[in-house]
Chain A
């Protein structure tokens, strides 16, 4: 049986937990349960009826849904590795500066502080035919009337926008991991005659593997959910309803009124992202409760 003292502290703990549990259950757990329930229903207008797993069967056969993963996969396989590579080089570059180049760190970080919608607006204008300040620059090199903002170029433009937004932030995180590496390691290598870049690649890079994996997973989750930037680009170029999974879910629900079908797709997308993040969550949970008690 539980002791009286333990029951008492349990009561107190749940009093402090109560507000969090109320909003957590009411606004996260319950809606997810509702989403699962909705995904098991057929729908026409306001009428709904139970259909079991039929929606899921249809999602698995829906080529519109699976082809919407082209952009997330492109970001995952191109943007994320390029960004991690650049961010690592930039972080090493910071290390060559006095105090880690605070001005560079500050300037590179700035794009992260502004919303994706605004960077979408500004970059889509920068690449637009009517306003692009880049075309006069290209004009100097004799390449006039280049059309940037075509549907075929949207992935490349997304690449630029997302690299612009997140590289400085990522470099900052990599740099924080770099300066956490004990100085003795690199000093020992320098005594053996290794130069800065040799130390960087032979000693420091292997120690960055852990943080880089974490960053890769977080960016993979972001890539699966990409919405705001293509949504804004969609104002200037016509993009299909299923350009990304999130756009397809939104459009199915709110342009086509297929709520229950969209719920099923939402659940599948959630399962995919949670699957990706499982590794991090496990170690994060263990770490923090293991620290005391």
Chain B
């Protein structure tokens, strides 16, 4: 089939852009197969497979295996934080959908008004608060703030709005009480939205750097994203090949998740 020249020009541009977007992933991946002196050779080709196994075993053996702690912590913070935050938001969204109650409009506007408050405004006082109640340098200091998910609350209202009145009315006629209506009849209707919000919250929990940086000291409680920035040799100098290999393992779960669950990742205007 003959193509117009403009089609070919657009193809060339799209392919060049794809190279730009993929290049750092490629360079990171081949970086895991090199030791420091090979990294310094600046080659664009992969290094040696034996260095890969060497790097991986060094990363896992680093400081008596603290890397395992970082992985476990990241999974804990991201999974528990995301699930709790989205579940609490689904309860709140249900209240806004189902009931006409006193203070409804004001409360909703009040909640939304806090959606855009930057993390820096709350992290500093949270640090002071956690210091006063002896929560600094505990896992709760990272977990608790992730239980508030204002974005999920906002989205849950719109997901619940899409559930028809008839669904709830039928349940009420059958004599189900409000909580059973929520749990057995309502929740299954919003499961796709629930999963989307869970995944988005999981990713932002996994990637959250600033809060752990502020509230944690012990390396054993750090998540991957913070832990990998602390990798040094005994003299305190950076070890580039280990940092690259550790970075690779930090993003691997995200990439696997994104690729396998692509249909649930719906980009939204209202987040960043």
Contact = CB atoms under 8 A, between A and B. Distances in A.
B24 interface: yes
Interface stretch (B50-58, B61-69, B140-148, B168-176): B140-148
Contacts of A215: 269
Contacts of B24: 111, 119, 122-123, 126, 164
A159 interface: no
Nearest to A130: B40
B98 A23 contact: no
A259 B128 contact: yes
Given A119-B24, A136-B43, A9 B100 contact: yes
Contacts of A225: 118-120
B269 A211 contact: yes
A262 B124 contact: yes
A104 B15 CA distance: 8
A7 B99 CA distance: 11
A238 interface: no
Contacts of A17: 91-92, 95, 107
Most buried by B among A110, A119, A130, A132: A110
Given A35-B122, A133-B42, A114 B272 contact: no
A208 interface: no
Interface string B2-40: 000011001001100110111011011001000000011
Contact of A133 (B27, B91, B207, B228): B27
Most buried by B among A13, A14, A232: A13
Contacts, number: 265
A221 B111 contact: no
Contact of A224 (B114, B118, B182): B118
A277 interface: yes
- Grouping DSSP codes into helix (H, G, I), strand (E, B) and loop, the A interface class, with mixed when no group exceeds half, is helix
Nearest to A94: B14
A113 B255 contact: yes
B126 A9 contact: no
Contacts of B267: 109, 169, 172-173, 176
Contacts of B112: 281, 284-285
Interface in B239-266: 240, 243-244, 247, 250-251, 254-255, 258, 262
B177 to A, nearest CB: 10
Interface string A256-293: 00010011001101100110010011001100110111
B157 interface: yes
A168 interface: yes
Contacts of B44: 133, 136-137
Contacts of A246: 120
Interface size band for A: 35 or more
Residue from B43, B97, B125, B153 whose CB has the most chain A CB atoms within 10 Å? B125
12 contacts: A31-B126, A109-B267, A110-B255, A115-B207, A115-B209, A117-B209, A131-B40, A215-B269, A218-B272, A221-B116, A269-B121, A270-B117
Interface of A: 2, 6-7, 9-10, 12-14, 16-17, 19-21, 23-24, 27-32, 34-35, 38, 90, 93, 96-97, 101, 104, 106-111, 113-119, 121-123, 125-126, 130-133, 135-137, 164, 168-169, 172-173, 176, 196-197, 211, 214-215, 218-219, 221-222, 224-225, 227-228, 232, 235, 246, 249-250, 253-254, 259, 262-263, 266-267, 269-270, 273-274, 277, 280-281, 284-285, 288-289, 291-293
Ranked nearest first, the 10 interchain pairs of A and B with the lowest CB-CB distance are A115-B207, A20-B92, A270-B121, A13-B99, A13-B101, A16-B95, A31-B125, A277-B116, A10-B101, A35-B125
Given A196-B6, A222-B272, 11 more contacts: A9-B100, A13-B98, A23-B88, A24-B111, A31-B122, A104-B14, A113-B203, A131-B240, A168-B21, A284-B154, A289-B96
Interface of B: 6-7, 10, 13-14, 17-18, 20-22, 24-25, 27-28, 31, 39-40, 42-44, 88-89, 91-92, 94-105, 107-109, 111-122, 124-129, 144-145, 147-148, 150, 153-154, 157-158, 161, 178, 182, 203, 206-207, 209-210, 214, 225, 228-229, 238, 240, 243-244, 247, 250-251, 254-255, 258, 262, 267, 269-270, 272
